Structure formats: structure tokens, C-alpha cells
Structure 1
Amino acid sequence: MKTWRMQWASALPRSAVVLHDLAMVWLCWHGLRLLRYSLAEIATRQPLWSTEDAIVLLAQGLVLWRVGLYRGLWRFASVPDLFNLAKAAIFGTIAIGLGLFLYNRLDEVPRTVLLLYPFALVGLLGAPRLVYRAWKEHTLARNRTAAVRVLILGAGRAGEALVRDLRRTGAYEPVGFLDDAAQLRGSKVQGVPVLGQIASIEEIARETAARLLVIAMPSVHASLLQRVVAACERTGLPFRMVPRLDDMLEGRSLPGELKEVAIEDLLGRSPVMPDWKSIRGWLGGRSVLVTGGGGSIGAELCRQCAKHGARRVAVVEIDELALTTIVTDLHRDFPDLDCVPVLGDCGDPAVVAHALRLAEPDAVFHAAAYKQVPLLEAQLREAVRNNVLATETVAVACREAGVGTFVLISTDKAVDPVNVLGATKRLAEMACQAMADRRSTRFVTVRFGNVLDSAGSVVPLFREQIRKGGPVTVTDPEVTRFFMTIPEACQLILQASAIGSHEAVYTLDMGEPVAIRLLAEQMIRLAGKQPGRDIAIVYSGLRPGEKLHETLFHADERYRPTSHPKILQAEARAVPGEATFEALRVLREATARYDVDALFKQLRSAVPEFSPAPVVHVAPATVVAFPARNARKT
């Protein structure tokens, strides 16, 4: 009974609209005929209803229905609805003409009536809709006494759409736009005036009594967004931003939802546009296995593989909670995916062999690794066991099983390593290179730097410190790092894998290095606090194994561009195969004895460029820019 009432309630207004429109069609037809005869001073008496009227109403009614006029609501009537009305009137005139021609060869139908009919009908049908919308908006405005006054930064398409969304809720009142475009000065968008430039935000915010600022620039470059955010911060008012299109498409934001400005939005990186066609062509219908699949990078790799056509995703993970979480996510988001969970250590040959038998993968992504630099300086044995020997175990098993592609997730710290993490990852690269054989498994290495919001990274650490009221700890005022987001890193890993050749080493464009001090200050401001006043920043000094600046490129590795502008391929340095395999054997024996001294000595010998020097302040000139970007500038 309740469902029937709801259906009747929703159908009643639509029925009223249909009756209104048919009445307007009748009025338009009769009115034009009377006008035509009165102008010609012809005395005639028209019946109120005739077969001709029935043909007119039937023809025009069917056309109105077919153009979808009754799928919209009068409250949201707009210019596109007027175009629909015009289309319906034109096609309706044609249908009426055909119908009357078949009925009476258009006898006693003045041609001027047919000519004027579509114009008059658009007016009669459109005017009530626009008046109704204006009345509803006026009613909302009168009831908006407690509405939040909003000042919008950006008078483009996003700003125009935002005004309509805010007005529909009734909880917000747009009071003005700010935009630097000179041609917009003094104009109005959806009836809301453009009041001035963004630089004048403090003064204009006071004059308009704004209580919320909204940045409606979803595609603006990060450098401009930083300037806009700085202007918003000077006002002391809360501010939000319209989400980017890719955030909505990926489900990270909902349409119409305002989001807080995140640190990722301000890092100066242009959006990465992967070649999805080549990725899906390589990945579609395949089975993949991801080691460390419960970690930050591993979990996102699983999602990206599932999203872009993999038929089966096997996950090897030693942490049972992390494994449960990613498997649950995959089952929820991709119900048709064949998900194969394997709990265990990928350094255990039995675990790896079991996973390969279950998954029969075409590609293996080796993301399992220890990566905390200061911790690993005092945990050499575990770093070697997990980062080097486990990599060898997985790589050998993949080659023996005939896996098509093995992808090693490496790090920029493997270039001229000064810490245990970098040295072990570089030796893992060398082990894969030594095993490469063009007749068997294709070995691909992908290097990149710090990943935002990955487990143990600086961003979640700063966020937690800010939440607790500080202080925020920065190692050195001059320290810089390269950053990219987790989805971006994984997309580029897949892209590099899709274009990879044998023994390929790829480096991802990490953009410009980011000063960690500025990162901390910006995160404090985004939390509504002031650095040094509300939240203290403490400089703790560089920790063991840390450098002031990371380097993405090795001097002896010649880099050339690939089919993707964000990826460079290095010409891999020659690796002595027998010496590398002997080093791995010695390391395995030393690991079994837990002989740290022997491990350190062998690691230094196997990776000649490993130089665990004491903490020094490296000159800023050691930061190497992305070669392809410099080439484009020259």
C-alpha cells in the first residue's frame, strides 16, 4: 500500500505536466487560427474540439514524449530544456503537417499557422517552466536565512556548476566569484557577480561576510593552487575545493561533494596520463601474482590489475591482517575476479612454488620488501634476507615456472646507495639482471622515490603528529625528497611493464624534489594551524643512512625516452653473473649463521658503489633533474 502511494505521488506531478503541455498545444493551435482569421477579417466560428484537434494533440504529444521532455523536473529547467522544447516544436509541426495532410490534405489549415506554431509553442511551454524554477529558487532564497555565505574562487565551468549545486541544497548562499580573468570583471555567472581578483580575497571576504571559501579550479596546476591556498589561508576562513574529475571517476570523491585540500594537490605534479590501451592489451585476460600484496604499493597494484582486465590476481603476503584486508577489498570491488590469497613469506621457496602452482601467472610483481631506512641500518641480516635473498628466491622460481614477466619494484635509493636499503635493493636489481635470459622470463626493474601516504612514509607521520598537537619532526631544514601518489606510482609500474624489454631498468619521473620543511609547514596550515605558533617544527638531524638529497639517475646509466613521457629507460650496467651468484651464496650462508660482519663485508664487495659514509650535508647541486624534461626545455 505504501509503495503504491509513493508511485502515485511521483506520477501525479508528471501527469499534471503532461496535461498542462497538451492544454498549451490546444491553446497554441486555436489561438493562432483565431489570430490568422482576425487579421484577415474573416468571420469564422471554430468548434472547441474536432478531429483536427485530436490529430494535433496526438502528434505533438507523441513527439514531446519521445524527446524526453518528461524525464526532467521543472525545478531544474534550464537552457538545454529550451533546446528540447524547440526540437519538440519543430518535429511536432512536421508530424502535425503530415497527419493533417493524410486527414484532409491540409484543407482549411492556414500555412501561417504552421509557420508560427513552433515559435508560439516554445513560448507557451517554456515560460511556465522558467517561472516555476524562478519561484522555487526565490522560495529557497527566502528560507535561506541560516545559509552559509560562500565565496567561490574560479568563475569557469566548475564554478558555474557549483553555484547550481549549492543553491539546490538550500544550505549555502553563493555571494560572489573571484577570478583573475580580466574579461570576467563585472560580469555575472548564474546571477552571481564576479567581484574581483583572487589577490583581493581578504578585503572581499570581509565585505561579503563570507563564511566559507570554495576553490572551483579542479584542473589548475599545483603551483597556481598553492598561491590560491595561500590566499585562502590569509583570510582565516575555512576553505574547500571541488574534486578533480579523476577523483570522481576513481570513486575517491562523490559528484557535488566538496573536499578538503590535500597535500597531494599541492606537490607540483602534473596528472599522469597512462596509455591505458597498451596496459589493457598487455594485462587483459592474464593471471598475475603480487608479492607483498597487502602493502601500500602491492595492494594498489592488485586493484589496478583487477581494474584493467586481469582475470586472476594472486596475493602473497606474510601479514594475515593485510592479506585479509586486500582480499576482502578485491572480492567487494571486483566480484568476478579470481582472487588467490597465499599467506606466507616469499623468501620461503615452498610458499613461492605453491603460489605459482595455484596462480599459473603470466606476470609477477615483486613488491615485498623492507624499506625503513634508519631501522634497516641496524637490521642488516633481515634487510639482506628479505630484500635480496627473497628476491632471488622469487625470481628463480619464476624462471623455472616459465613466468612471462618478472617485475622488481626498486627504489631511487639503489642509485649510488649510502644505506642498507639502497644497497640491498641494488643487489636485488643485479641478481635479476644476472638471471635474465632472452629465451625465458623477461626481467623488468622499475625505480621510483617516496610514495605519499604509503605505510611508514613522512606524510602519515606528520598527519599524526599534527593531530596530537605537535611537534612535527623534520630531520633537516634543507632535506628534499621526490614524491608521487600511490595510484600514480602503480599506474607507471604497469605502463613500464607493458613496454618493458629484457633486462630493462625504468626510472619514473618524480617531478621536482620537495623540501620536507615546506611540506610540514603546508600540512600544518591545511589542518587550520599556524607553523611555529600552533604547531612547533623540531629539527632532529639526519638519521643513520639518510641523505639531504636523493638522486634518481646513475652517471653510468645512459637514459633514453620511452613511448611514455614520464618513463625513462636506463642502459643497464654490466653485471658479472658468476660473481653475483657467488655473492648471493655467501650472503645466504652468512644469513643462516646470523653473521652480520660477514653480511656487511659481502654486501660492500658485491655492490662497489655502496658507500655508507657518515652524515654529511650534500650540496644542492647533487639533485639531478629529469633528463627528458630538461631536453624539452632546451
Structure 2
Amino acid sequence: MSRSQIVARRSLMIGWDAVSWLLALVGFTLVRHEFTLSERMWAISLSYVAAAMVLQVIAGLYTHLYLGRSKVGSFAEVSALAQIVLGISIVLGVVGFLTAPVFSRGLAFVMPMLAILFMAAGRWVFRTARDRRRGSLGAGAPALVYGAGDAGDQLAALIDSADDAPYSIVGFIDDDPSLRYLRVRGYRVLGRGRDLVRVAQESGAEVVVLAITQADPQLIQDVADRCTEAGLELVVVPPVREMISGRVELDKLRAFNVADLLGRRPIETDLSDIADHVAGKVVLVTGAGGSIGSELARQVRRLGPAKLILLDRDESALHATKLSLDGDGLLDTDDTVLCDIRDKDAVCAVFQRLAPEVVFHAAALKHLPMLERFPEEGWKTNVLGSLNVLECAARAGVQHFVNISTDKAADATSVLGQTKRLAERLTAWYAADTGLTYLSVRFGNVLGSRGSVLDTFRAQIERGGPVTVTDPDVTRYFMTIPEACELVLQAAVIGHPGDVLVLDMGEPVRIVDVAQRLIAESGKSIEVVYSGLREGEKLHEVLLSESERGRETGHELITQVSVPQLEPADLRAGERVELDLASFGIEAPARADAGERAAS
């Protein structure tokens, strides 16, 4: 809008508010006196109106009401306007009663109310005309909004007020039958979810905007499938955790993607409790170059630790994490440590030198088929490496130790699951031995983590396919990286020594659905090929073993289970372990050797 247009609009608003006082006088004298006033009363009334008009302009300019302080017709503007009119009525009323014996009480009490009504009416006409003009332009794609709740209302308000909105709303649909006759900012609810395709065709919609911030995966997938079949573009309002203060923003609307298949459960964490466990303390994260470790480091950093120590054996990954945290890639400070957890002496030296108080142990080998081929590597890192970190932490007096585990440790059938199960049991033993809060947190696949199924599928799609899926019915639990790490921090607060805390992963997702969603996003025609389940791989993962009984904790998305303790000496001797060491290509050492190693 040009400067001249702005000046013209503000001048028109000033003129209308001034004239409103004159119209209020006409209305008052017509209804109350039928224009039969004495000359004395006319003089008083006209003087009152003239003074009110002058004061209205002065007050409006002084308070910036006419200089763009608030949007025209907004609640804030009308509230400010009412305050000005009230102030004018009080001032002129007092002056009138003191100076004019025949001053009419109607002038003091009725006229201001009529004036504010005329002023508000003018703004209503302006807003209505502007909205109709925007609607007639039809610049945005015709959109049908699924969800007539708060998010839908916010979306409609944003589209109505935007100068160049990407969408023009043709109506709403909602599954709540009680909203059948509802109008959201003038837009009708045209049907229920089952009527989506029909309503879209009848209304000429080209886009469906899913404005439900906590939609479950089944609903999202169903809407996506119907939109695909009908040739409609699906756009989603992001979940609350992706918004700023829970407010919908037009530039945050995005195309439906694979992350939406996970559902939109709100993750509620008590940041004050978490901060109490981290703030002002020395925190060490192993595997800090990995997807989970780096995100844990980012979230811990925001809680104000005295020092955050990043430990990893991959120097490039460590550099990337450090760079993402503070933009400093020099790696010349003692808070970045290049160390392999398989080297017990090196790990203990780090703990003795830096004296961490809280440890998040995320270092691990995690690729199931690779560990099936090289089981001894899984044994060295996931079991003996974890044992090294636990022993060094106990020696250094670490007060809180969180071992990051996996759902594959429940009813373990793979090398990955069995090694992580042993790490859980070792953690439980150290909790009992030290009496300190050493615990494990178990969750499933993390969407978007390095080397995850998403990376594999995207690489295959980039090459032109085919996309390989083991089985059409195989399912897995998924979480986003921030969601998983947020719950890990919460679990660290509510857990007790020896606990294994299992995170609620929501509903399992079919892997083929993830593959097809990624293919759809690519816009390519890619074939899906089924390769069959691999050695040690399950068709459906579980979060708890058959022998485990979950117990409630202080958080609705976290369950506690117990695992049998495993003494390090027994592990090294190869006795009383629910694992055939030969499957790792390892010959069980003699008991005497184990005793010597344990003593050392």
C-alpha cells in the first residue's frame, strides 16, 4: 500500500469517527426529543458535539490510534476507541454539569454510547468490504479445511487477513456431528470426514488442509490415501511442538510427509525437574556424533549444564555436532573428546580428568544385518564397551547414568537385541552395586537418524529404485529424534536405580507405508520389491518381553520394567548369561582368567 493510500485511509477513519459524534446527536435528538429542543439546548448540544469531535481527533492522534497502532476493526483497536470515548464523555459530562444548569443527562450517558456504535459500525463495514474484495480476487488455491477447531479457526483468520494468501477457503469439514451448522468466520461446515472427496468435488477444492494438530496416524493415512485417489493436494498444519506458542502460521503449513505417519501425540515434559538434574552439572554424552547423541547434546545444552562433554570415536561426526552446537569447529577444548569406548583405560582417564556427574550413554553399533554378520563387533562395542563406560563412571562417582537401549532388547532374537539386553542388565547391576541412579531407556526406531530406513529408501529412490522392503506386513515403532530425546531426559528424572524405562512409541507403522509415502513425495514411479525377513529380524517388534510386566511411572508415555542383574565377572566368565557366546564367535574364557580380570 502506497503512502498516499495509507494517508487517505487514516484520514477517512478520523473523519468517520468525528462524524459519528454528529450522527449520535442526530439519533439522540430524534429518538429522545424528536428534534424539538430549545435554542439553549441546541447550543449546548452542538457545543458538546464540537468539543467531542475535537477531543476525539486529538486523543486518537496522541494515542496513535489513527497512526496504525492496531489493525482496523480488531479487538485491540475497538477497545482503545472505547477508552477514548469513555474519557471524552467523563470530561465533557463534568464540564457540562458544572457550567450549564440545563445540561441534559442524555448527552452525557446516551450520546457516547451511540457514538461508539457508529464508529464500530464503520469499521465493520470496512472489514466486510475488504474481506469480500480479497475473496473476489481468488488468488489462492481453493482449499477445503479438515478440522473446525481452534487450529482451523486460526487458519481461517490468517488466510482472511493475509494480503497474498496461498489458499482461499471454500468450506470446512469436521467429524463432529454437532458442528453440522457451524460457520467458522463465515465459512460453512459442509460435511463430515467421510464426505471429504464429495465435498471437495462439489466445492471445487484443489487442496485439503488438515487442521488437526493431534491427529492420529490412522486418520492421517486415511485422509492422505483419499486425497491421492481424488487428485487432491494434502497440506497439514504442523503439530503443536513445531509451532511457536501453539499458534498456526501460514508459512509453517507444509505438504504431508512421512513424519506425519507417526501421529501427533503431545509430549509434555517437566522442564523444571529436568533442569534441576542437569543445570550447573558436568554432563557427558557418549556417541555424541550420532543422531541420538547429538540431539541429546543439543537439548542438554539448553538446560544450562556447567560443562557439556562430547565423546565419540568418529572425529568427523564429533566435529559436526560441535559445529551445530556453537558454530565452533576448532575442536581445541576439553569438552570434545576423541575416544573409543572399547578402550577401558582411555575411557577411565577421561572420567577421572573431567569428572562428569551425569552420563548419557548413546554410543553403540546398531545396524542389525551388519551385526548378524559380525557379531563379535557388536559384543565388543555394545557389551564390553558399555561395561567399560559403566565401570569408569562408577569409579569416578557419576551420580546419574542413562543407558540408551532399544526395543529389540525385548524378547531379543538378534545380535543387536541380545547385546543391548546385556547392557541393560549390566546397568541394573551397577545401580544395585552403587545405589545410584543408573538406568536404561528403551525405545524403537528413530525417524531420520543416520543410517535409518529413511536414508536407505531415499537413496534407492534417488537411484530410480527399486525400493526394497523385507515383508509387506512388517511393522516397526518410530519416533522423531527430538521426541525420543525429550522423553529420554524426562525418563532420567523419574527413573529409579536399575529401572529399564520403556518409551511409548505410539502405534507401529507398516514399513511399506513409509516407503510408499517417500515415493509419493519424490513424484517418481518407483517399484517396491519384497526381499524377505533377514536373519534375527522380527515381523513385529515388541516393547516388553513376555516375562516383563510394565508398571506406571510419573509420566503417561513412560513405563517401567525390571531386568535381572548381570554381574560383570559372570559376563566375562561366560556363565549364567542368557546368551550363547559361541554365536558371537567368542570362546568363553576360563573362570580363573575372569576372576583376575574382575579383580583388575
Global fold match (TM > 0.5)? yes
State the TM bucket, normalised to the shorter chain: 0.7 to 0.9
**1:388: Cα distance to partner?**
1.9
Could you tell me which residue of structure 2 aligns to residue 164 of structure 1? 157
Alignment counterpart, residue 530 of structure 2, candidates 509, 522, 539: 539
Alignment counterpart, residue 112 of structure 2, candidates 118, 138, 145: 118
Could you tell me which residue of structure 1 aligns to residue 595 of structure 2? none
1:25-174 alignment to 2 at 5 Å? 27=22, 39-44=35-40, 46=43, 58=55, 62=59, 70-74=68-72, 77-78=73-74, 81-82=77-78, 85-86=81-82, 88-90=84-86, 92-94=88-90, 96-97=92-93, 104=98, 107-144=101-138, 146-167=139-160, 168=162, 169-174=164-169
- Decide whether aligned partners of structure 1 residues 28 and 308 sit closer, same or farther in structure 2, where only a CA change above 3 A counts: farther
**1:495: Cα distance to partner?**
1.4
Could you tell me which residue of structure 2 aligns to residue 317 of structure 1? 312
**1:538: Cα distance to partner?**
0.8
Could you tell me which residue of structure 2 aligns to residue 617 of structure 1? none
Could you tell me which residue of structure 2 aligns to residue 474 of structure 1? 469
* SS state at 1:46 partner: helix
C-alpha distance after superposition, 1:484-537 (max 9, x if no partner): 2222211221111101222222222223333323443444445567xxxx3322
- Cα distance between partner residues in 1 of 2:198 and 2:550: 51
* SS state at 1:364 partner: strand
The answer (yes or no) to whether the contact 1:353–1:397 under 8 Å persists in 2 is: yes
Could you tell me which residue of structure 2 aligns to residue 204 of structure 1? 199
1:499-578 alignment to 2 at 5 Å? 499-525=494-520, 534-578=525-569
**1:562: Cα distance to partner?**
1.1
The answer (yes or no) to whether the contact 1:316–1:355 under 8 Å persists in 2 is: no
- Cα distance between partner residues in 2 of 1:63 and 1:575: 77
1:174-253 alignment to 2 at 5 Å? 174-185=169-180, 187-249=182-244
The answer (yes or no) to whether the contact 2:431–2:439 under 8 Å persists in 1 is: no
The answer (yes or no) to whether the contact 1:29–1:113 under 8 Å persists in 2 is: no
Could you tell me which residue of structure 1 aligns to residue 485 of structure 2? 490
Aligned residues: 576
- Cα distance between partner residues in 2 of 1:244 and 1:433: 36
Name whichever of 154-163 and 341-350 sits farther off.
Answer: 341-350
- Decide whether aligned partners of structure 1 residues 65 and 230 sit closer, same or farther in structure 2, where only a CA change above 3 A counts: farther
**1:57: Cα distance to partner?**
5.2
1:340-359 alignment to 2 at 5 Å? 340-349=335-344, 351-353=346-348, 355-356=350-351
Unaligned regions of 5+ residues in structure 1, if any? 1-5, 587-594, 606-634
- Cα distance between partner residues in 1 of 2:175 and 2:248: 27
- Cα distance between partner residues in 1 of 2:90 and 2:119: 18
Name whichever of 349-358 and 439-448 sits farther off.
Answer: 349-358
- 2:356 partner letter: P
- State the TM-score, normalized to the length of structure 2: 0.83
- Decide whether aligned partners of structure 1 residues 71 and 285 sit closer, same or farther in structure 2, where only a CA change above 3 A counts: farther
C-alpha distance after superposition, 1:208-241 (max 9, x if no partner): 3322222222233333333322222221122211
- Decide whether aligned partners of structure 1 residues 570 and 182 sit closer, same or farther in structure 2, where only a CA change above 3 A counts: closer
- 1:456 partner letter: G
Name whichever of 178-187 and 302-311 sits farther off.
Answer: 178-187
The answer (yes or no) to whether the contact 2:283–2:307 under 8 Å persists in 1 is: yes
**1:443: Cα distance to partner?**
1.1
Name whichever of 65-74 and 362-371 sits farther off.
Answer: 65-74
The answer (yes or no) to whether the contact 1:445–1:506 under 8 Å persists in 2 is: yes
C-alpha distance after superposition, 1:393-444 (max 9, x if no partner): 2222222221111111011222332222122222222333333356564311
- 1:347 partner letter: R
- State the TM-score, normalized to the length of structure 1: 0.79
**1:278: Cα distance to partner?**
2.6
Unaligned regions of 5+ residues in structure 2, if any? 592-600
- Decide whether aligned partners of structure 1 residues 318 and 209 sit closer, same or farther in structure 2, where only a CA change above 3 A counts: same
The answer (yes or no) to whether the contact 1:60–1:92 under 8 Å persists in 2 is: no
* SS state at 1:227 partner: helix
Could you tell me which residue of structure 2 aligns to residue 613 of structure 1? none
- 2:586 partner letter: F
C-alpha distance after superposition, 1:54-80 (max 9, x if no partner): 588558965997697852122xx3466
- Cα distance between partner residues in 2 of 1:253 and 1:89: 34
The answer (yes or no) to whether the contact 2:16–2:122 under 8 Å persists in 1 is: no
* SS state at 1:323 partner: helix
The answer (yes or no) to whether the contact 1:414–1:422 under 8 Å persists in 2 is: yes
The answer (yes or no) to whether the contact 1:86–1:118 under 8 Å persists in 2 is: no
- Cα distance between partner residues in 1 of 2:79 and 2:147: 27
- 2:70 partner letter: G
- Decide whether aligned partners of structure 1 residues 189 and 441 sit closer, same or farther in structure 2, where only a CA change above 3 A counts: closer
- Cα distance between partner residues in 2 of 1:250 and 1:370: 38
Aligned-residue RMSD, C-alpha:
3.9
- Decide whether aligned partners of structure 1 residues 567 and 183 sit closer, same or farther in structure 2, where only a CA change above 3 A counts: closer
The answer (yes or no) to whether the contact 1:452–1:483 under 8 Å persists in 2 is: yes
C-alpha distance after superposition, 1:40-94 (max 9, x if no partner): 53123538996996588558965997697852122xx346654554455445534
- Decide whether aligned partners of structure 1 residues 339 and 86 sit closer, same or farther in structure 2, where only a CA change above 3 A counts: farther
- Cα distance between partner residues in 2 of 1:342 and 1:116: 77
